[in-house]
Structure 1
């Protein structure tokens, strides 16, 4: 009787495992990164001295080189289950470790906040640590040169939209998307928390998007708002239009946005473009330019190269310039080079 019971229990456990799936995916990258006059080059290191009253801590300053070892390890862990009716349930957490760009030292890996998804046909609903409509918008990021993707056509945007957090808990939010044929519609909602005079307060943040693909061209538009908090924080908004197209070995994107933020010196129109061209079967050249009309927008431009070694491994690098409009330090040259492997 015990043998029968044990066999039945094992069968039930096996069936339970078979009904679900756990997947692992991600990538690693490492190499050298250069940033002219790297900001935050001074880090405080506590040194301990002993006095008659006990141990006290003092601070010493250590400068960081402009060239540092850059790295990232990212592991996505996805739990997946599907009902008999075809409704798919997913949960994801991400384990990620990056270098500290200010000090050049390595950071420890840690799990981020969980994202939960329900998917059926063209309908998708995400909850928890989610990406909103802008973060999911087609061609928002375009081609980003460099091992670290450090140049972006969106650099002139200063509005803080809902984005997926790889290393933190993220916003506890909801994202909705429905796709049918060549058309897709998305929307998200969350509450941003502010600290005003030592008192926590929150503001509603929402966004919507629409995407349409015709032939080799994709057009996308999105609009979002963060509500005002009394007279302390004004309403903020962002509107974005993107266009992307592919012509054989060439692909390109155009980006235009209008953002209204608290900092009046960063309000205005943001614009940019990016491109990628397959020179051969293994080599791709990339380019991106981003800027804005506001006095203190961030301008970026640069080029990059990707050489595919096969098996998910590639050599990548880029070089470019960046400058904040009202910065007193002027423009900064930035470059990197290294390897990336996907798994």
Structure 2
């Protein structure tokens, strides 16, 4: 809903441009959030640390620039309003991106997903105002943004297949670039579309691959994924992290209700394994006109032999799009 436009300005129409425009969209959230920041059990003792109930608000403005050349090539860019406060820069985790698209495919550069994240679907199909219910999706655990945060991705689609190639470089020239490959395919099966995704990304001492499948049955959107990553440390055994998750959302008229679950296990030879898991539930009620009532709850745990911790969080409020 954050792409609802409330201002559109035609900029220019010359021999060099068939059409161009700038549009402005906005979103805002208000409500309350809270929960237990941690319930830690160590050597038979409990130590409860609570996150206080508090007000939540968030406002975002996005500028979307788009145009088309005389020969049919489309191009554009998006800019987050935070850019004006932080200053524009070519490097770093900045919230802007640009693209060019045509029969040759689409090339996007900037703050955008790598090929793995583009192809493999997460299980966070529905959300709340503070992301209390969506913490347990483990796709792309740190691969994007591992270097300078500026990703270049090429996408091409043909006959139900989608292909992606991405790269992210280290500005210092010290670390190896991160490369990614992704593929999607939509299969018509029994009257429903089944969406398949697979991807890989790897770079300096880290690599990750994943698979996902999604469909819709009787008004319920479903997705499941599996992701495996490997981190290499010189002189030590590789740490391998295996994660899986699923999500389901049922929609009836203005009401949507969703359930998400994710689990991730990290293991290395000679090192005690850690398991992180969590479940999230959320409900959204569309009041119309860009106003949505949202509620969410999430509860997770981190388990290591001799050390367990549990966290939970909730939120309730209104999401607005303009």
Give TM class, smaller chain. 0.7 to 0.9
Q: Which runs of 5+ in 2 are unaligned?
A: 1-10, 40-48, 88-93, 267-272
Size of the alignment, in residue pairs?
A: 281
**Rounded Cα–Cα distance in structure 1 between residues aligned with 2:181 and 2:171:** 21
**CA contact under 8 A between 1:274 and 1:287: conserved in structure 2?**
yes
Q: State the 1:290 CA deviation.
A: 0.4
Q: Which runs of 5+ in 1 are unaligned?
A: 1-12, 40-62, 98-107, 195-199, 228-234
**CA contact under 8 A between 2:38 and 2:310: conserved in structure 1?**
no
- 2:57 is the alignment partner of 1:71: yes
Where does residue 237 of structure 1 map in the other structure? 207
Highest CA radius of gyration, 1 or 2? 1
Instruction: For 1:1-343, list aligned pairs within 5 A.
Output: 15-16=13-14, 19-37=19-37, 66-96=52-82, 110=86, 112-121=94-103, 123-152=105-134, 155-156=137-138, 159-162=141-144, 171-192=149-170, 201-215=174-188, 216-227=193-204, 235-262=205-232, 267-278=240-251, 280-294=252-266, 295-326=273-304, 328=307, 330-343=309-322
Secondary structure, in 3 states, of the residue corresponding to 1:93?
strand
**CA contact under 8 A between 2:65 and 2:76: conserved in structure 1?**
yes
Secondary structure, in 3 states, of the residue corresponding to 2:117?
helix
Q: State the 1:84 CA deviation.
A: 0.8
Q: State the 1:91 CA deviation.
A: 1.7
**CA contact under 8 A between 2:282 and 2:296: conserved in structure 1?**
yes
Q: Say which is worse superposed, 287-296 or 108-117, in terms of deviation.
A: 108-117
Secondary structure, in 3 states, of the residue corresponding to 1:201?
coil
Q: State the 1:324 CA deviation.
A: 2.6
Q: State the 1:87 CA deviation.
A: 0.3
Q: Assess, with a 3 A threshold, how the Cα gap between structure 1 residues 246 and 260 changes in structure 2: closer, same or farther.
A: same
Secondary structure, in 3 states, of the residue corresponding to 1:151?
coil
Q: Which has the bigger relative contact order, CA under 8 A and spacing at least 6?
A: 2
**Rounded Cα–Cα distance in structure 1 between residues aligned with 2:55 and 2:238:** 34
Secondary structure, in 3 states, of the residue corresponding to 1:134?
helix
Q: Assess, with a 3 A threshold, how the Cα gap between structure 1 residues 155 and 262 changes in structure 2: closer, same or farther.
A: farther
**CA contact under 8 A between 2:221 and 2:250: conserved in structure 1?**
yes
Q: Assess, with a 3 A threshold, how the Cα gap between structure 1 residues 27 and 270 changes in structure 2: closer, same or farther.
A: same
**Rounded Cα–Cα distance in structure 1 between residues aligned with 2:178 and 2:281:** 35
**RMSD value over aligned CA atoms?**
3.2
Secondary structure, in 3 states, of the residue corresponding to 1:136?
helix
Q: Assess, with a 3 A threshold, how the Cα gap between structure 1 residues 137 and 224 changes in structure 2: closer, same or farther.
A: same
Q: Assess, with a 3 A threshold, how the Cα gap between structure 1 residues 297 and 265 changes in structure 2: closer, same or farther.
A: farther
Q: Assess, with a 3 A threshold, how the Cα gap between structure 1 residues 265 and 276 changes in structure 2: closer, same or farther.
A: farther
**CA contact under 8 A between 1:142 and 1:274: conserved in structure 2?**
yes
**CA contact under 8 A between 1:316 and 1:340: conserved in structure 2?**
yes
1:161-188 C-alpha deviation (Å, 9 max, x unpaired): 2269xxxx96233110001231100010
Q: State the 1:116 CA deviation.
A: 1.4
Where does residue 269 of structure 2 map in the other structure? none
1:201-253 C-alpha deviation (Å, 9 max, x unpaired): 322101110000012110000011013xxxxxxx2111110000012311110
1:78-133 C-alpha deviation (Å, 9 max, x unpaired): 22221111101112211259xxxxxxxxxx96574431100114711012333211
1:62-90 C-alpha deviation (Å, 9 max, x unpaired): x9952222222222212222111110111
Where does residue 6 of structure 2 map in the other structure? none
**Rounded Cα–Cα distance in structure 1 between residues aligned with 2:217 and 2:302:** 34
Q: State the 1:296 CA deviation.
A: 2.6
1:117-170 C-alpha deviation (Å, 9 max, x unpaired): 001147110123332113322522441443233334854557422269xxxx96
Q: Assess, with a 3 A threshold, how the Cα gap between structure 1 residues 287 and 177 changes in structure 2: closer, same or farther.
A: same
**Rounded Cα–Cα distance in structure 2 between residues aligned with 1:296 and 1:149:** 23
**Rounded Cα–Cα distance in structure 1 between residues aligned with 2:136 and 2:300:** 13
More strand by share: 2
**CA contact under 8 A between 1:119 and 1:125: conserved in structure 2?**
yes
